[in-house]
Amino acid sequence: MDIAIIVEGKNDKSRLRRVLNEEVDIFCTMGTPGVTQLEKLRRQIGDRQTYIFTDNDASGKRIRGMLRDTFPDAEHIHTRRGYPGVEKTPPDYLIEQLEKAGLEEYIMYPAQSTAIWSKEDDF
């Protein structure tokens, strides 16, 4: 599957890049997009499956609405209310949302510790 994710800004892109492999192209609206920016995104993304990952605030909702018109088949993902934007969302929650969208094959999961601890271990 050839996919693209649209986020609001470069800090959001940087945050998602930490949990997604390089195969995934991430595009930024750079705030509220105008007609020119929307057209540019449409050309860059082409016919790829599109995911829109925005903040769960008034600005994010407005941007989602604008992108919905340009990318009517896109899947919408957003942060939980209370997180101060995608760029400050904990990685485990980002991963959870990406999994819900079916993007497991693109996620770079953190290494799991193989250490085994018991109550008897001295510290």
Question: How far does the chain reach from its first CA to its final CA, in angstroms?
Answer: 48
Predicted pLDDT of residue 116? 60
Predicted pLDDT of residue 114? 56
Domain residue limits, the chain: 3-106
Global confidence as pTM: 0.87
Give tens-digit pLDDT for 26-72. Answer: 999 999 999 999 999 999 999 999 999 999 999 999 999 999 999 99
108 vs 21: CA distance, rounded Å: 6
Sign of torsion over alpha carbons 61, 97, 74, 72: negative
2 vs 59: CA distance, rounded Å: 28
Kindly state the tokens that stand for 27.
Answer: 């595009």
Give tens-digit pLDDT for 87-123. Answer: 999 999 999 999 999 999 999 998 765 556 555 555 4
- Report the topology of domain 3-106: Dna Topoisomerase Vi A Subunit; Chain: A, domain 2 (3.40.1360)
Predicted pLDDT of residue 123? 47
Predicted pLDDT of residue 63? 95
Instruction: Give backbone dihedrals phi and psi of 74, rounded to 5 degrees, phi first.
Output: -70, 150
Predicted pLDDT of residue 113? 53
Predicted pLDDT of residue 82? 85
